[in-house]
Amino acid sequence: MRPFSYARAADLAQAVRLGEHTGQGQTDAPAQFLAGGTTLYDLMKLDVMMPGRLVDLTSLRATHGTVTATTAGLRLGALARMAHVAAHPAVRSEYPVVAQSLQLAASAQLRNMATLGGNVLQRTRCTYFRDPSWTECNKRTPGSGCAALNGFNRNHAVLGTDASCIAQYPGDFAVALMALEAEIDLIGPHGSRRLPFASLHRAAEGQPHLETTLRPGEVITAFFIPATAWAHRSVYVKVRDRASYEFAIASAAVALELDGDVVRQARIGLGGMAYRPWRAQVAEAVLTGKPLTEASAKAAGRAAMEGAVGHGHNDYKLELGRQTVVRALMEAKAMPTPSRKV
Ligand SMILES: Cc1cc2nc3c(=O)[nH]c(=O)nc-3n(C[C@H](O)[C@H](O)[C@H](O)COP(=O)(O)OP(=O)(O)OC[C@H]3O[C@@H](n4cnc5c(N)ncnc54)[C@H](O)[C@@H]3O)c2cc1C
Ligand code: SF4
């Protein structure tokens, strides 16, 4: 671990000022915001991230850690803790996929500490990335190569990869955000902006060290999930090597609006298999306007994994991904009909 300076921001304006040299998604950014610290401290101890300055956001929790549900949608403060949001009655009843994605993540201790903003910005669990004794890692050291391509890649991605990086995006909450077409609110040195959540994480495109579209100094202040007719009937299915305290090897966030058995609208997010939080729009189109049956769910599963490429040890994810989509669709169909329609 290297020496670093520490500053606690009293308010958002000060956080932005102090954080002008942050560059989330860049290992070598000279400053980093500190929220729960549950992943940043790990990476600093491993010498993977070496910020010279930490800007502590925890004083902002009272103002930017709240949950507000209105007829327009759900607003989640970025400093809200995972456990708090997972247990919130409105989130559990009206946006179940969000509550489930948080509840199935990490451990109780981590969920009590970790925030939503930090969760979506967590880095890959690729072992070559997290161990600097491996010199080949384009994400950690641009231009150095990718040790995982010909190494042990059982947990790596099969969707959205390129020759520069096959790392898997590890988070769960982001997958639910993709399915529910969430937006994020940001504030930075040049003012505030709102972005579709889907545009936060960049494709690898030969530059895997650049992970997000955040600008230096930008703080995520909130997530907004619009109230839709499909948010109520939504589930998160997470497949992992053990039943708790483990990252996904495949996951699917599914939200459905049904008219009887017929799919009016479908939204599908995928996790554990893709380079970044993934939306399976081709699979959604396969389902729309047709009765949801085992056969149509299988067709959607196949469409969701179209273009997926295995790298050897992770070839099993192609079939696992299809099956995970089928299971999530059938679980969503079996949910009781929501009492409130948007
Ligand atoms: C053993 C273990 C198992 C885990 N299992 C899972 C799992 O199954 N599923 C899952 O989803 N996650 C899992 N996690 C990851 C865990 O959920 C994250 O560590 C946590 O959510 C990060 O949140 P934090 O508030 O602690 O972030 P921090 O560590 O404080 O920050 C992470 C990054 O986000 C940046 N940041 C934080 N907040 C903001 C903000 N508001 N604006 C801009 N930048 C910000 C920081 O600068 C930093 O770069 C696991 C972690 C561990 C250690
Ligand atoms: S998969 Fe990505 S993170 Fe892992 S070694 Fe290759 S370049 Fe690095």
pLDDT digits (tens, 9 = 90+) for 76-123: 999 999 999 999 999 999 999 999 999 999 999 999 999 999 999 999
Does residue 186 carry a pLDDT above 70? yes
Q: Coil, strand or helix: which one is 128?
A: helix
Which residues fall within 8 angstroms of residue 339, CB to CB, at 6 or more apart?
none
Question: Above pLDDT 90, what percent of the chain?
Answer: 91
CA of 149 to the centre of ligand 2 (A): 8
For position 28, what pLDDT does the model report?
62
Kindly identify the ligand whose nearest atom is closest to the C-alpha of 204.
2
Q: Coil, strand or helix: which one is 279?
A: strand
For position 1, what pLDDT does the model report?
66
The pLDDT of 261-277, averaged and rounded, is 98
Q: Report if pTM > 0.85.
A: yes
Give, for 253, the enclosing helix (H) or strand (E).
strand 250-259
67-69/53-56 β-pairing: unpaired
Q: Please, what are the domains in the chain?
A: 234-333 (3.30.390.50)
For position 27, what pLDDT does the model report?
56
The pLDDT of 112-135, averaged and rounded, is 97
Q: What is the DSSP letter of 306?
A: T
Structure tokens at 143: 């231009």
For position 105, what pLDDT does the model report?
98
Arithmetic mean of pLDDT over the chain:
95
The pLDDT of 254-276, averaged and rounded, is 98
CB-ligand 1 contact for 78 (6 Å cutoff): yes
What are the C-alpha distances in Å from 69 to residues 60, 172, 269?
Answer: 20, 21, 22
Mutation test of ligand 1: which of 121, 177, 193, 247 has the most ligand atoms closer than 8 Å to its C-beta?
121
CA of 115 to the centre of ligand 1 (A): 7
For position 19, what pLDDT does the model report?
84
Does residue 185 carry a pLDDT above 80? yes
Residues in the chain: 342
Does residue 23 carry a pLDDT above 80? no
Q: Of 14-23, 146-155, 257-266, which range is least confident?
A: 14-23
Q: Is 208 exposed, middle or buried (0-12, 13-18, 19+ CB in 10 A)?
A: buried
- Rounded (10°) CA dihedral 190, 195, 198, 202: -10
In whole angstroms, what is the distance from residue 318 CA to residue 158 CA? Answer: 7
- Answer whether 178's CB lies under 8 Å from 278's CB: yes
Does residue 342 carry a pLDDT above 70? no
For position 135, what pLDDT does the model report?
97
**pLDDT tens per residue, range 35-51:** 999 999 999 999 999 99
Question: Alpha-carbon Rg of the chain, whole angstroms?
Answer: 19
| CB environment 86-122: b (16+ within 10 A), e (fewer) | bebeebeebbbbbbbbbbbbbeeebbebbbbbbbbbb
Phi, psi of 271 (to 5 degrees): -135, 170
Closest ligand 2 atom to the C-alpha of 156? Answer: 1
CB-ligand 2 contact for 256 (6 Å cutoff): no
For position 282, what pLDDT does the model report?
98
CA of 253 to the centre of ligand 2 (A): 25
CB-ligand 1 contact for 44 (6 Å cutoff): no
Structure tokens at 13: 């304006």
For position 216, what pLDDT does the model report?
86
Does residue 202 carry a pLDDT above 60? yes
Structure tokens at 247: 């990252």
Does residue 24 carry a pLDDT above 60? no
Closest ligand 1 atom to the C-alpha of 24? Answer: 49
- Half-sphere exposure of residue 290: CA atoms within 13 angstroms, side-chain side: 14
For position 317, what pLDDT does the model report?
98
Nearest to 200 by CA among 218, 190, 189: 218
Of residues 31 and 131, more confidence is placed in: 131
Closest ligand 2 atom to the C-alpha of 149? Answer: 6
Please give the single-letter amino acid code of residue 157: A
